Amino acid sequence: MENLRLAVIFGGQSSEYSVSLHSTASFLRAIHKDKYEMTMIGIDQGGNFYLYEGSIDDLEHDHWKNEKDCTPCAWIHGGIITVENNPRTFQFDCAFPVLHGKNGEDGCIQGLLELMNIHYVGCDVMSSSISMDKEIMHILCDEANIPCADYLCLRENDENPSFEEIQKSIPLPWIIKPCNAGSSYGVHFVENEEEFNEAVKDAFFYDGRGKILVEKVIKGFEIGCAVMGNGTIKTGSCDEIEITGGFFDFEGKYEMKNAAIYCPARIEQATFDEAQDLAKRVYKAMNCTGLARVDMFVQEDKSVVLNELNTIPGLTATSRYPSMMKAVGLEFPDLIDQLIELAMERKVGVC
């Protein structure tokens, strides 16, 4: 039996470009290489696509884009073609986008792969898009009776409510965050008007689409749950984030400064079960397929509320999603296999 032809897509134009490189390097070191005929496709920060034939180390340390290892390429039906004097074509059975944020997690790359008739790992165009946009996610979760933090959405070109007006509906402190970004870029803990004004500017900068959220701070702590599946859904363990700052920021996530993660979460079994159930409900409400990490808060009364949804979570060997799956007996290389199998189950390019 021939090996499955797998395209691994990395890089991208989002603020999470570096996160993608680290995830991809870890992914490539873990994957069962004997099962796949792999092709690496890099996207630089200008949005250009390249066939990459270099080392994992150069990829991880952002030395991948060079004339020796990279060849510009373009997408064709079922694969790519290199842009050179003697062009080469590569056909794929499946693509694994190891991309985070803008153009990678928001339905854009998924739409491209649909048009090219290539199976791909993860959520489809619609569920990727609505999960990425935190305002839309809030609206749909409200309709599905999924508990979330109180919020307001501010638009860059609109006449927004003043600081005092927001206070009337949502008491301080607040979390200010972009609607369309991840890895805690542009996220701020706000306790006064001066902090609010600076946070709004930064959040709009990282959003790129002119929408940010003002959310009520939940008194409690953050947990997460890994979810995977298409029709049949299963969860991994729940993990728990312990922080000493205002929120789980970029340095906490990737350098573990002022933060620690416990898996399984140090919570009572009833709360654990409630979190797994809520994670499944969110996954279904957003019409997810493949995989997602559902982030939640445990409040002081031990009830669980949704924070947000990540349709392409971090995929290093020690990232939260693989760790939560490992806690229920699914090792990282086997997890990759199962995610690819789920991708091959779904139909693409057909009505």
Does position 134 have pLDDT exceeding 80, yes or no?
A: yes
Quote the crossing angle between the two packed helices 125-132 and 108-115, to the nearest 10°.
170
Q: What is the pLDDT of residue 1?
A: 63
Cβ atoms within 10 A of the Cβ of 137, count?
Answer: 22
224 in Cβ contact with 180 (< 8 Å) = no
Q: What is the pLDDT of residue 245?
A: 57
Q: What is the pLDDT of residue 274?
A: 98
Does position 214 have pLDDT exceeding 60, yes or no?
A: yes
Cα–Cα distance between 311 and 288 in angstroms, integer? 8
54 in Cβ contact with 221 (< 8 Å) = no
Element (H, E) at 52: strand 49-52
Q: What is the pLDDT of residue 209?
A: 81
Q: What is the pLDDT of residue 158?
A: 87
Whole-structure pTM value: 0.90
Distance set, CA 328 to CA 143, 153, 227 (Å): 32, 38, 12
Q: What is the pLDDT of residue 250?
A: 40
Half-sphere exposure of 331 (CA within 13 A, CB side): 5
Which residues contact residue 337 at a Cβ distance below 8 angstroms, ignoring those fewer than 6 apart?
Answer: 32, 35
Q: What is the pLDDT of residue 182?
A: 64
Taking only the tens place, the pLDDT of each residue in 231-265 is 899 999 999 999 875 544 444 443 445 789 999 99
Does position 131 have pLDDT exceeding 50, yes or no?
A: yes
Taking only the tens place, the pLDDT of each residue in 72-101 is 999 999 999 999 989 999 999 999 999 998
Stretch 181-192: mean pLDDT, rounded? 85
Which residues contact residue 159 at a Cβ distance below 8 angstroms, ignoring those fewer than 6 apart?
Answer: none
Taking only the tens place, the pLDDT of each residue in 306-336 is 999 999 999 988 899 999 999 999 999 999 9
Report the mean per-residue pLDDT for the chain: 93
Stretch among 17-21, 137-141, 177-181 having the lowest mean pLDDT: 177-181
Report the percentage of the chain scoring pLDDT > 70.
94
Does position 68 have pLDDT exceeding 90, yes or no?
A: yes
DSSP for 267-294?
Answer: S-HHHHHHHHHHHHHHHHHTT--EEEEE
Domains of the chain from N-terminus onward: 4-120 (3.40.50.20), 150-216 (3.30.1490.20), 220-345 (3.30.470.20)
First to last CA, the chain: 29
Taking only the tens place, the pLDDT of each residue in 34-50 is 999 999 999 999 999 99
Angle at 141 between CA 306 and CA 326, to 5 degrees: 45
Stretch 259-275: mean pLDDT, rounded? 96
Taking only the tens place, the pLDDT of each residue in 196-210 is 999 999 999 988 788
Which residues contact residue 338 at a Cβ distance below 8 angstroms, ignoring those fewer than 6 apart?
Answer: 228, 330
Does position 183 have pLDDT exceeding 70, yes or no?
A: no
Q: What is the pLDDT of residue 207?
A: 85
